[in-house]
Structure 1
Amino acid sequence: MMRVLLIILLAALNAQAQPMFKDTVKDNYSGTIIPDPYRWLENDTLARTREWITAENKLTNSYLDAIPFRKALTEHLSSTWNYARETPPVKAGEYYFFTRNNGLQPQNVWFLRKGLNGAEEELLDPNKLSANGTTAVTMLGFSTDNRYLAYAVAYAGSDWNTLHVMDIISRKELNDELKWVKFPRAAWKGNGFYYSRYPAPEKGMELSARNTLNQVYFHRLGTLQEADSLVFEARLSVAAFVTEDQRFLIISSLPGSFLGFKLTSSTGNALHYQDLSVPGSRIQPLIKGYDNHNIVVDNKGGKLLLQTDTDAPNNKVVLLDPAHPEKEHWQTVIPEQRSSLENIDLAGGYMWACYLKDARTLVSQYDYSGRKVRDVQLPGIGTARNFSARKADKDIFYTYTDFTTPETVYRLDVVSGKSVLYRKPDFKGITTGYETRQVFVTSKDGTRLPMFIVCKKGTRLDGNNPVFMQGHGGFKRNLTPAFNVARMIFLERGGIYAQPNLRGGNEYGEAWHRGGMRGNKQNVFDDFIAATEYLIREKYTQPARIAITGVSTGAVMVGACINQRPELFKAAIPVVGAMDMLRYHKFTIGSTWAEEYGTSDNKEQFEYLVKYSPLHNIKAGVRYPATLVLTADHDDTVVPAHSYKYVATLQEKQAGDNPVLIRIDSNAGHGPGKPTTKLIAEAADAWSFIFSQLNVKW
């Protein structure tokens, strides 16, 4: 009866939520004419757009309000989420800095203590910076003398950050204020630091205008931003780093640096360097071209340790002389392994190589000559991160998590390699009685991919279990085992969680990444479909009980999969996705993704983009899965217009009674910095939708 009422309610409200008219605008892509009838939804200040948003919010709220257990689910989730948790302490001089959330605080609060056992003192509470808890703070690092701390402040979920500096001794904020920064870093050198920023956008276009000409500046403490020295600029994206001994400035840039905006056939980065120990030295090329991914790990005297996938798809570490940086002069320090080298952390004068073996973390300790000291014994089969500290430190504070273990802080002794528990979160939910399996699935082209499956012990494989799947498949991002407090309510009620590792990530190195990018993007969708078919074939579930999700490029995957195989899924939740793959590069930082996706400006790339673009492959008269799109009004990573146009089109063409809804969060962005209250509200709505669609009993 309740389902019937929901269908009737949706039918009644859906007419009100339809856009009032269609644009006649059409685009010519190398001779192919593509209409864009909902182009007007790209203008979020247009009155017509605001009216559409109001109608959509009314529709979505009415639907969710009619779910009888939504309130109880929300209360249970709030109660479960209410547990104390801390981040690993970071040492600077005689102080340790860390954050804590007592449970439901919107943002983590920063503390410091003298020594590990000293009395703690509140340093900065972001919750006092805004009435609604939507102001987020990111710590960027300490000056060489440990007196000053640089930090970034972002408002309402936007990528735009403002940099500030605090005097740790007096606990007072300096007058320094640096604006128009995205993805902030502060590379300290002497009495100041290097940082990158964009030119100020046109007023009213802060959240949608294309961001180009990223510039590195040096800021001296106590001066105005206008006095900062321009050091380097790139058309797309650039980042600065200074080695711990302050000798080398390293600058990494994406394709387009000094060349104007020009697509290449590569997805890597170029490197420049400056020897800061030589007065009057200039910035010089270190790694030319963009054929490979390169990260300067540290220096060893006048030479540099470089992590690279040059001739090593799984990555290796080499030593190079900046005076002779050509690869024929490189000395191998850590050779390529069978497992994918995710990153190198530095601590205690050692390199800590973090590998992925079938999407699980392995960590090995090396000295700077490349001698392997030991493999770190981790607490379990899961994800471990943050093996970073200064060279003089003797302890590392790292985190460990898996699907049923909240992120826990461990203390590792650099000399012995032994780990002990340092801080365990005060999670009161049930984390026992579950099992995690890893299976391997054969994709359409014969490629073997891993998939984690989490469920209660003793779950019967009768072909009728509710299943929730998440995938990503792009930008070298890995989906590894991690705890999610909201997902636990699904597992508690007999649900099964499945997480396939799709091509496009870095789980098996650069070859795996390239297998899911550009013209190979269809492999990502084939992988996810194959994983879904595996779960059905092995009697875990059936299509009527499968819900899927993906975030950002994972949402593109969701949109493509429900277009290509709508009968395979019951419900879909695409989150902050670039659903218009023909125009994504025309907004904010979208042009920086061109090397991953390709763009419609190129005829060859247009030909494959238009074949899978979620917006452009919705067909009239098809019964698509029940769909709840999640986006936010301050998302200036993937602008919400993507989701608006996608939902308008899907609502227009949907056949049958499966709802098509959009949840538009206010004063929120792409995800990072979202306050706890908003995280809970969004999760409660999403899981209420999933429970109702999969017929999961509350």
Structure 2
Amino acid sequence: MMIKLTPAFAWLVALSIGLTSSAGPPVTTPRDTVIDTMHGVEVPDPYRWMESESSTLTAWVNAQDGFFRSFVDGVPIRDAIVDRIAEIGEFDSVSPPTRAGNRWFSWHTPADRARGMLMVREGAADAPARVLVDPEAFFPLDTMRLTGMTPSPDGTHVVIACDDGAGTWGELRLLDVDSGRERPERLTGISGPTGFPGVRWLGDGTAFVYWHFDVRDARGTRTVALRNPKLRLHVPGTPQSEDPVLAADTGDPTRLIRTFDITNDDRFLVYSVIDKGTRHTTLHALAFDDADAGPITLARDEATFGYIGSRGSRLMYRTDAGAPNFRVIGIDLDDPAPERWIDVIPEGENQIAAVWQTADRLIVNEQRDVKPVLRVHDLDGRFLREAQLPGIGGVGVTASRRHSDVYYRFGVLFDPMTIYTLDTETGASTLYHRPALAFDPEAFVVEQVFYESFDGTRVPMFIARRRDLQPDGTHPLWMYGYGHGGWSAFPWFQPHLVAWLEMGGFYALPGIRGGGEYGAAWRDAGMARQKPNAIGDYLAAGEWLIENGYASRDGLVANGGSASGFLPVVATNRRPDLFGAAVVDWPFLDMLRYHHFASGFTRSFGSPDDPVDFAVLHAYSPYHNIEEGTCYPPTLVAVGERDLTTPPLHGYKYIAALQHAQACERPAMIQMIRDAGHYSYGTTPEQRRGSFADQIAFLIRALELPFRPPVSGNAGAR
């Protein structure tokens, strides 16, 4: 690969001391003779033994870890990269305030602190803040972290969620806000994979509803299935054992209660149940004053429903039922038949990506070619005005149905979330908090381009680079793709990628099918049996970047993670000539057995137990499509030792197979993140920074990049 050496980056440190990209496997990996017959097809699985704990597996993992450490620790500028990532990521981080009564709650992580503190302000959002929870004093273990909070409507109490840093299982605790003291009860059976917030208070603050799961059903320490999801009601001061179950699916313990909330008048618990592996959703409403009568069924449909809020007996949902670009519907509790639904905000040309209700307004995030636009409507759905945003960036809104305050976060790859208040009467934005940074965001630029995929589909893509560098094909480019679950891809702030840009790298994020860039039709066009469309979009993005001078074949880095972790290695399996390297984070790679170790993904990928789905999965499953005698690009697969969502066995099996088949000396390596859960680069800031730096160091050595140490200090910083 030819690298242009600008005066600021003409330092050949890695090459000058003789680093090379050749690295053979550290050990010979045992191979089984296991062969499954699936739908009449023989499927060899030589590394089936890696699915179970054993001393042999432990020894193999340790040897691979040592192999990787010797490879990246030999990069002279690795430690400088760690230091620069720390500088970039160390700033005072503040969340938008959440109002409850006459108090405002927010998170504050000072630049010199590892974990965020929960703060409370009295009387106004800009009043002096008081520390309510300092995790460094609150938790005995420095790996424990706060993951969410929900104050009672009057602000007298707050429920906090915490876990052990692996993001797997946690607990709920209750604080008295006046005194700051913790109440004695702790609620367990709280699942990290379901996310937080998972708490809704009754309006009078006497009790709250929460999500509860039975003790996990685990195989070893690396797989999990969530069992018997329930909604329970907790009255502060009573033991959890007395919490009544408000909703549960006793007929099928693998069905998920997907979402829940409480109507604005506190009369009903509303919740949705989804059949795992399908889009079949059932909406229910349970009257608190007549719970014994059971829930009312509001809807059954193959569609997505997101609860927004209520107005009288009308419940408002964002849905793609009959509306691929989504619409806001009103369902009357007294007459919920689908033919009686009304359009509060009809489907339009652009996607309705999200909706929030305040006391008197609806705030709509409308996406125009992926770029967010905030629109203000009244509660009847009438459009009032468009918000004046500060530019092109990602937007997240914080609002309460009980108040009129609206805050939003605004950011991009090289700028962490700046917070603004939104005046819904004028559409004007006012700065609330902007972090002081150790770099200048104006030194970078992000642009949006469009390219044609293999079947002629127009696909959007964002590209970020240093403003002073031009797309001439001489700069390494890190290409991340997701295309899953309806998530719209927009470049978000990541300190290690800012360091990558500073050192002369480019970054690209194609909005491939399977994501939510253009609504439900775009999402469905990249799911399950249509997943090959997402793969085709990803490959076409790489080809376009090379053809248009943004990257070269030797410098194009394929990247994806979690539900898209399969993408980069499907790409390098099929087109090893197109990519310089692959960096894979927390992936599914054995697509014929993934459903045995993680639940809830067959809707997105299809089921290997179905013969048609099997044929699609077998054709691209990374583990099953490695050809012996092929020279594959340098490949790094990051796995979490305690990951229960995409268990590390996927990385183990794939890397073992790749090392066996590799026809050249290019490295195939495991990056083991010790003690970490899903998509966690570590349980401490130091470990996380080191993990990110290791990935860049891997690329520096594997691609022989002539990067100089990143510049330290805050010259030109904001």
TM-score by length of structure 2 reads: 0.91
Amino acid at match of 1:688: A
Say which of 674, 682, 687 aligns to 2:696.
687
Q: How far is 1:280 from its partner?
A: 5.0
Say which of 333, 339, 342 aligns to 1:328.
339
Residue pair 1:438, 1:450 contacting (<8 A) in 2 also: yes
Of residues 552-561 and 686-695 in structure 1, the stretch that sits farther from structure 2 once superposed is 686-695
Residue pair 2:667, 2:702 contacting (<8 A) in 1 also: no
Q: Is 1:303 matched with 2:314?
A: yes
| Residue 624 (structure 1) aligns with | 632
Determine the C-alpha separation between the residues in 2 that align with 1:607 and 1:88. Answer: 47
Determine the C-alpha separation between the residues in 2 that align with 1:204 and 1:473. Answer: 29
Q: How far is 1:364 from its partner?
A: 0.6
Q: Is 1:251 matched with 2:277?
A: no
Counterpart mapping for 1:429-440 below 5 A: 429-440=439-450
Say which of 517, 520, 525 aligns to 2:530.
520
| Residue 114 (structure 2) aligns with | 106
Counterpart mapping for 1:210-289 below 5 A: 210-234=225-249, 235-238=254-257, 239-255=259-275, 266-276=278-288, 281-289=293-301
Say which of 534, 543, 546 aligns to 2:556.
546
C-alpha change, 1:430 and 1:330, in structure 2 (3 Å) is same
Please list every run of 5 or more consecutive structure 2 residues that lacks an aligned counterpart in the other structure. 1-13, 709-718
Q: Is 1:187 matched with 2:203?
A: no
Of residues 507-516 and 493-502 in structure 1, the stretch that sits farther from structure 2 once superposed is 493-502
Say which of 433, 445, 448 aligns to 2:458.
448
Q: Residue by residue, what CA displacement relative to the aligned partner does 1:329-370 show, whole Å, maximum 9, x if unpaired?
A: 111110111111111112242111112211111111111111
Determine the C-alpha separation between the residues in 2 that align with 1:312 and 1:378. Answer: 27
Determine the C-alpha separation between the residues in 2 that align with 1:133 and 1:611. Answer: 45
Determine the C-alpha separation between the residues in 2 that align with 1:131 and 1:147. Answer: 25
Determine the C-alpha separation between the residues in 2 that align with 1:127 and 1:477. Answer: 34
Of residues 667-676 and 466-475 in structure 1, the stretch that sits farther from structure 2 once superposed is 667-676
Determine the C-alpha separation between the residues in 1 that align with 2:200 and 2:697. Answer: 44
Amino acid at match of 1:405: D
Any idea what SS the aligned residue of 1:176 has? strand
Determine the C-alpha separation between the residues in 2 that align with 1:4 and 1:655. Answer: 26
Any idea what SS the aligned residue of 1:110 has? strand
C-alpha change, 1:15 and 1:145, in structure 2 (3 Å) is closer
Counterpart mapping for 1:53-68 below 5 A: 53-68=61-76
Amino acid at match of 1:240: F
| Residue 405 (structure 1) aligns with | 415
Say which of 410, 420, 426 aligns to 1:416.
426
Say which of 368, 374, 383 aligns to 2:379.
368
Determine the C-alpha separation between the residues in 2 that align with 1:633 and 1:271. Answer: 37
Determine the C-alpha separation between the residues in 2 that align with 1:230 and 1:652. Answer: 52
Q: How far is 1:500 from its partner?
A: 0.7
TM-score by length of structure 1 reads: 0.93
C-alpha change, 1:629 and 1:447, in structure 2 (3 Å) is same
Residue pair 2:217, 2:226 contacting (<8 A) in 1 also: no
Say which of 141, 145, 155 aligns to 2:164.
155
Residue pair 2:444, 2:466 contacting (<8 A) in 1 also: yes
Determine the C-alpha separation between the residues in 2 that align with 1:203 and 1:607. Answer: 29
Residue pair 1:74, 1:684 contacting (<8 A) in 2 also: yes
Residue pair 2:638, 2:670 contacting (<8 A) in 1 also: yes
Any idea what SS the aligned residue of 1:592 has? coil
Counterpart mapping for 1:656-667 below 5 A: 656-667=664-675
Counterpart mapping for 1:27-42 below 5 A: 27-42=36-51
Q: How far is 1:570 from its partner?
A: 0.7
Of residues 228-237 and 365-374 in structure 1, the stretch that sits farther from structure 2 once superposed is 228-237
Q: Residue by residue, what CA displacement relative to the aligned partner does 1:515-548 show, whole Å, maximum 9, x if unpaired?
A: 1001110111110111111111112221101112
Residue pair 1:544, 1:569 contacting (<8 A) in 2 also: yes
Determine the C-alpha separation between the residues in 1 that align with 2:264 and 2:55. Answer: 52
Amino acid at match of 2:317: L
Determine the C-alpha separation between the residues in 2 that align with 1:104 and 1:645. Answer: 40
Q: Residue by residue, what CA displacement relative to the aligned partner does 1:26-73 show, whole Å, maximum 9, x if unpaired?
A: 3332222322222222224x2122111111111110001111211222
Residue pair 1:107, 1:675 contacting (<8 A) in 2 also: no
C-alpha change, 1:48 and 1:128, in structure 2 (3 Å) is farther
Determine the C-alpha separation between the residues in 1 that align with 2:672 and 2:38. Answer: 31
Q: How far is 1:498 from its partner?
A: 1.1
Any idea what SS the aligned residue of 1:58 has? helix
C-alpha change, 1:373 and 1:203, in structure 2 (3 Å) is closer
Of residues 379-388 and 270-279 in structure 1, the stretch that sits farther from structure 2 once superposed is 270-279
Q: How far is 1:465 from its partner?
A: 2.1
C-alpha change, 1:406 and 1:277, in structure 2 (3 Å) is same
Larger RCO: Structure 1 or Structure 2 (Cα < 8 Å, ≥ 6 residues apart)?
Answer: 2
Amino acid at match of 2:271: I
Say which of 60, 73, 79 aligns to 1:71.
79
Say which of 203, 207, 212 aligns to 1:197.
212
C-alpha change, 1:28 and 1:106, in structure 2 (3 Å) is farther
C-alpha change, 1:209 and 1:81, in structure 2 (3 Å) is closer
Determine the C-alpha separation between the residues in 2 that align with 1:652 and 1:214. Answer: 42
Q: Is 1:386 matched with 2:397?
A: yes
Residue pair 2:589, 2:622 contacting (<8 A) in 1 also: yes
Any idea what SS the aligned residue of 2:529 has? helix
Of residues 467-476 and 271-280 in structure 1, the stretch that sits farther from structure 2 once superposed is 271-280
| Residue 356 (structure 2) aligns with | 345
Q: How far is 1:671 from its partner?
A: 2.9
Determine the C-alpha separation between the residues in 2 that align with 1:128 and 1:475. Answer: 38
Amino acid at match of 1:551: G
Determine the C-alpha separation between the residues in 1 that align with 2:255 and 2:112. Answer: 38
Determine the C-alpha separation between the residues in 2 that align with 1:599 and 1:367. Answer: 43
Q: How far is 1:245 from its partner?
A: 2.7
Q: How far is 1:177 from its partner?
A: 1.7
Determine the C-alpha separation between the residues in 1 that align with 2:689 and 2:78. Answer: 12
Residue pair 2:150, 2:160 contacting (<8 A) in 1 also: yes
Of residues 418-427 and 225-234 in structure 1, the stretch that sits farther from structure 2 once superposed is 225-234
Determine the C-alpha separation between the residues in 2 that align with 1:468 and 1:28. Answer: 38
Q: How far is 1:210 from its partner?
A: 2.5
- C-alpha RMSD over aligned residues: 2.2
| Residue 135 (structure 1) aligns with | 144
Determine the C-alpha separation between the residues in 2 that align with 1:581 and 1:3. Answer: 42
Identity between Structure 1 and Structure 2 (%): 29
| Residue 259 (structure 1) aligns with | none
Any idea what SS the aligned residue of 1:628 has? strand
Residue pair 1:100, 1:109 contacting (<8 A) in 2 also: yes
Determine the C-alpha separation between the residues in 2 that align with 1:132 and 1:64. Answer: 30
| Residue 621 (structure 2) aligns with | 613
Determine the C-alpha separation between the residues in 1 that align with 2:38 and 2:542. Answer: 34
Determine the C-alpha separation between the residues in 2 that align with 1:8 and 1:677. Answer: 26
